[in-house]
Structure 1
Amino acid sequence: MSNSAATAGLGQEPLATTPLDQIPFNRFHAKITAMTFGANFSDGYALGMIGAVLPSVSAGLGLTSFWEGMIASSALIGLFFGSLILGRVGDIIGRQRLYVLNFALIAVVSVLQLWSPGVVALFILRVLIGFGLGADYAVGPTLMSEFAPRKQRGAMLASLTVAWTVGYVAANVLGTYLNSGPDSWRWLLASGTIPAVIVLIVRIGTPESPGWLISQGRTDEARSIVRRYFNVELDPQDFKAESTSARFSELFTAGNRTRTWFGVLFFSALVLPYFAIYTFVPTILSDLKVQDADLQYLVLNLFLLAGGIAGIWFVAKMPRRSFTIWSFFILAVSLIALGASSTASAMVMMIPFVIYTFVMSAASNITQVYPPELFPTQLRASGVGLLNGLSRIASAIGTFALPLSLTSWGIPITMYWLAGVLLLGMFGTLLWAPETKTEHLV
Structure 2
Amino acid sequence: MTSPNTSIEDVPLNNFHRLLTVRSGGGSFVDGYVLSIIGIAMLQVTAALNLTEFWQGMIAASALMGVFFGGFIGGWLTDRLGRKTVYFIGPSLFILCSLAQFWVESAAALFAFRFIIGLAVGIEYPVATSLLVEFLPKKQRGPRLAALTILWFAGAAFAYVVGNAILNSVGDDAWRYALASAAVIGLVLLLLRIGTPESARWLLSKGREREAEGVIQRVYGPRYSLRDLPEQPDEKKMTFSDLLHSGYGKRLFFVSVFWSCSIIPVFAVYAFAPKVLQALNLKGEWASYGSMAITLLFVVGCVLATRLINTIGRRSMLIHSFLWSGLSLLMLAVFSNGNEMLVLFLFGAYAVFIGGAQVLQLVYPNELFPTEVRAFAVGIGTSLSRVGAAVGTYLVPVSLQTLGIGNTMYVAAVVTFIGLMAAWAMAPETRSLNLRDAAALSS
Q: Structure 2 length as normaliser, TM-score?
A: 0.90
- When residues 99 and 121 of structure 1 are mapped into structure 2, their CA distance, relative to the original with a 3 A threshold, is same
Question: Structure 1 residue 349 and structure 2 residue 348: aligned?
Answer: no
Q: Distance in 2 between matches of 1:230 and 1:333?
A: 46
Contact 1:309 1:362 in 2 (8 A): no
1:319-378 Cα offsets, whole Å, 9 max, x none, are 111111111111111222223333333222111111122223443111111110010111
Partner of 1:234: 225
Q: Distance in 2 between matches of 1:49 and 1:415?
A: 28
Question: Structure 1 residue 210 and structure 2 residue 200: aligned?
Answer: yes
- When residues 142 and 390 of structure 1 are mapped into structure 2, their CA distance, relative to the original with a 3 A threshold, is same
Partner of 2:3: 3
Give the alignment of 1:28-427 within 5 angstroms.
28-175=16-163, 179-180=167-168, 182-231=172-221, 232-236=223-227, 238=230, 240-242=232-234, 245-288=237-280, 289-292=282-285, 293-427=287-421
Contact 1:165 1:305 in 2 (8 A): yes
Query: How many residues are aligned here?
Result: 430
Q: Distance in 1 between matches of 2:231 and 2:365?
A: 23
Q: Distance in 1 between matches of 2:265 and 2:303?
A: 20
1:186-244 Cα offsets, whole Å, 9 max, x none, are 33222222221111110011100011111111111111111112104225264521257
Shift of 1:427: 0.5
Q: Distance in 2 between matches of 1:174 and 1:340?
A: 39
Contact 2:93 2:117 in 1 (8 A): yes
- When residues 64 and 333 of structure 1 are mapped into structure 2, their CA distance, relative to the original with a 3 A threshold, is farther
Range that drifts further, 181-190 or 273-282: 181-190
Shift of 1:66: 4.2
Q: Secondary structure in 2 aligned to 1:414?
A: helix
Shift of 1:65: 4.5
Contact 2:317 2:356 in 1 (8 A): no
Q: Distance in 2 between matches of 1:226 and 1:271?
A: 36
Q: Distance in 1 between matches of 2:194 and 2:86?
A: 11
Q: Distance in 1 between matches of 2:400 and 2:52?
A: 16
Q: Secondary structure in 1 aligned to 2:36?
A: helix
Amino acid at match of 1:159: A
Contact 2:270 2:295 in 1 (8 A): no
Range that drifts further, 49-58 or 220-229: 49-58
Contact 2:91 2:189 in 1 (8 A): yes
Contact 2:70 2:118 in 1 (8 A): yes
Amino acid at match of 2:154: V
Shift of 1:245: 4.3
Identity of aligned residues (%): 37
Partner of 2:439: none
Shift of 1:255: 2.4
Contact 1:90 1:381 in 2 (8 A): yes
Question: Structure 1 residue 440 and structure 2 residue 434: aligned?
Answer: yes
Partner of 1:10: none
Partner of 1:25: 13
